[in-house]
Amino acid sequence: MEKRVLVLNLDHSPVAVVPVHKAIVLCLLEKANILSTYELLQIRTVSRSFEYPAVIRLTHYKTIPFRGVLLNRTNLFKRDNGECQYCGSKRHLTIDHIIPKSKGGKTIWTNLITACNRCNVNKGDKTPEQAGLILRSEPFKPSLSYFLAEYAERQAEEWLPFLSSRVIS
């Protein structure tokens, strides 16, 4: 599997995750500098070998339009670690509005959680307090860095020093 490369803006904020060939091109064109490499990995050509970049930083600041994390089923399940936020079950998960839509609850990050089908049915059209349920964790709006750090813990530990101060938004 080809490793991915984290691209940071000049201020060290994450901009993108790109394939290694794109990162090498940015570095060869002097549009980016390598900040961290994957140990024991190299890219070899007939006449040269290159370090395998893990993190690069752009040489000029790029204004990037704000792109928040999309609110969708996959990202919501990732944020909640694929667990029911009432009982901890990992089976038969659904999406639950903490404050039901019928009571004015909005479809936003801080009002949505993952819940198993049993807890969701038991809660019904009530708030957790009315149904006697307790949330295991407070819902929050995740940042791009939050998901990048989660990916880095599994795939690219070299990214962690560059994301650690930006995990919570």
pLDDT digits (tens, 9 = 90+) for 130-163: 999 999 999 999 987 777 777 776 677 888 888 7
The one-letter amino acid at 166: R
Phi, psi of 164 (to 5 degrees): -55, -40
Q: Read off the pLDDT of residues 74-99 as tens digits, 9 standing for 90 and up.
A: 999 999 999 999 999 999 999 999 99
- The span from the CA of 133 to the CA of 169, in Å, is 27
Residues 6+ apart with CB under 8 A from 121: none
Which of 10-14, 16-20, 67-71, 112-116 is predicted with the least confidence, judged by mean pLDDT? 67-71
SS3 content of the chain, % helix, strand, coil (to 5): 35, 25, 40
The whole-angstrom separation of Cα 137 and Cα 33 is 39
pLDDT at 167 over 50: no
Whether this model's pTM surpasses 0.85: no
Query: Domains plus CATH for the chain?
Result: 4-66+143-166 (no CATH), 73-131 (1.10.30.50)
Give the residues across from 36 on adjacent strands.
55
